[in-house]
Amino acid sequence: MSPKQPPIFREEEQLSAEIREGISVIIPVYNSEAILEDLIIRLASVLPTLTNNYEVILINDGSQDNSWQVICALSEKYPWIRKINLMRNYGQHNALLAGVRAAGNSIIVTIDDDLQHPPEEIHRLLERLEDDYDVVYGIPYKQQHELWRNFSSYITRLALQSTMGVENAQKVNAFRAFRTQLRDAFEDYRSPFVILDVLLTWGTTRFDAIPVNHKPRYQGKSNYTFRKLFSHAINMITGFTVLPLQLASWMGFALSIFGGILLFYVIGRYIIQGGSVPGFPFLASTIAIFSGAQLFALGIIGEYLARIHFRIMDKPTYVIRKKHEQDQEKENYESSE
């Protein structure tokens, strides 16, 4: 392990005064005891080259291993680490929201805990952020996941595109940099269903994405299964947009026209040929179409009612078990030149 050195800002870095004022790196942690130290060591060598004022906020999202103990040990060694321990596993975006609300600097950078997002690429996001953007994503040159994961991620991004309504929505990634002031747009948000990228659109439409180097997962496998990604997409669509309700209305209107055509056909056949439309299959198919459409529409309405139900119960977005002592006073680590 490399010895701790006092951070020194390199004046040749032409980053704005806003970025030099401070950077908060937020990392949700879940079962990452074996790789956290490597990630912090790399951050310790990168962050001092960007600013004299920085912090790393580690949010333990109900890990089942010794991640919290590792976080505590690291915070003792590196005074710029702030730690938050959630009561249980609330999900990546809920943990991110806890970190965003705790951030004390003008720029926030979010990265995963699995070393797929190289800290050495942070400066590229910050440089792009200066080109009059409020949110910048670091997308991989090439996807590192299996075919099914890439496909399910694509479907999820399509859902996000319809929800966010911004040009670069399909390029959303967990490796992102944005201005802390954007959190004012969702300061009072309390729903248990959290999609950070959608919340960011409440404050700005100036998004961009740049290709950066992503590494294969250091150990283990992704916690995002196909089922979780699908559920994530459903939460995005039903939690932040009325598109499904509109879809149900359009479908009801289309099937009403279809039913009118069928009625016109039945009456016309009776008048012209003097008999009704023969056959049970025709009747059964018609009933099945309308019954399926009704159940589908009821299912969509049920999803929205479920979210209203959880909101009325005031189910929390997250609950913090313990925070770093310094966090109570909102103290930030400031390095000496």
Quick one: pLDDT at residue 291? Answer: 76
Average pLDDT over residues 12-20: 61
User: Residues near 182 by Cβ (< 8 Å), separated by ≥ 6?
Assistant: 134, 135, 200, 203, 204
At residue 264 the predicted structure's pLDDT band, cuts being 50, 70 and 90, is: confident
% the chain with pLDDT above 70: 67
User: Cβ contacts of residue 259 below 8 Å, gap of 6+?
Assistant: 290
Residue 337 lies inside a defined structural domain of this protein = no
Spatial separation of the C-alpha atoms in residues 223 and 228, rounded to whole Å: 8
What digits encode the pLDDT tens for the residues 168-216? Answer: 656 788 899 999 999 999 988 888 888 888 888 888 888 898 998 877 6
Q: What is the pLDDT of residue 168?
A: 60
pLDDT higher at 322 or 137: 137
- Whether 335 is in a domain gets the answer no
Task: Tell whether 202 and 252 lie within a shared domain.
Answer: no
Residue 162 lies in a domain: yes
**pLDDT for the residue numbered 99:** 95
Within a domain: 155 = yes
> What does the buried/exposed string (b/e) look like for 30-66 if buried means 16 or more CB atoms within 10 Å of the residue's CB?
bbbbebbeebbbebbebbbbbbbbbbbbbbbbbbeee
Query: What is the b/e burial string over 273-292, where b = at least 16 CB atoms within 10 angstroms of the residue's CB?
Result: eeeeeeeeeeeeeeeeebee
Write out the residue range of the structural domain in which residue 93 sits.
17-240+316-329
Highest mean pLDDT among 70-79, 155-164, 257-266: 70-79
pLDDT in tens, 267-310: 777 777 776 666 656 676 677 677 777 777 777 777 777 777 66
pLDDT for res 213: 84
229 in the same domain as 273: no
- Statement to judge: residues 294 and 322 lie in one domain: no
Asked if residue 181 and residue 65 are part of one domain, the reply reads yes
More confident residue, 8 or 101: 101
Whether the predicted pLDDT of 146 surpasses 60: no
Question: In the structure, what pLDDT confidence band is assigned to residue 7 with cuts at 50, 70 and 90?
Answer: very low
256 part of a folded domain: yes
Q: Average pLDDT for residues 219-244, to the nearest whole number? A: 62
Residue 1, pLDDT > 50, answer no
Average pLDDT, the chain: 77
| pLDDT value, residue 328 | 44
pLDDT in tens, 21-65: 799 999 999 999 999 999 999 999 999 998 889 999 999 999 999
Residue 4 domain flag:
no
Q: Which amino acid is at 240?
A: F
Residue 90 sits in the same domain as residue 110: yes
How many domains is the chain built from?
A: 2
Poorest-pLDDT segment among 83-87, 242-246, 318-322:
242-246
Residues 197 and 278 in one domain: no
Whether residue 301 sits in one domain with residue 220: no
More confident residue, 254 or 327: 254
Spatial contact of 156 and 236, defined as CB atoms under 8 Å apart = yes
At 8 the pLDDT is 38
Q: Tokens for 223?
A: 């916690």
Indicate yes or no: pTM above 0.75. no
110-141 per-position pLDDT tens digit: 999 988 899 999 999 999 998 889 999 998 87
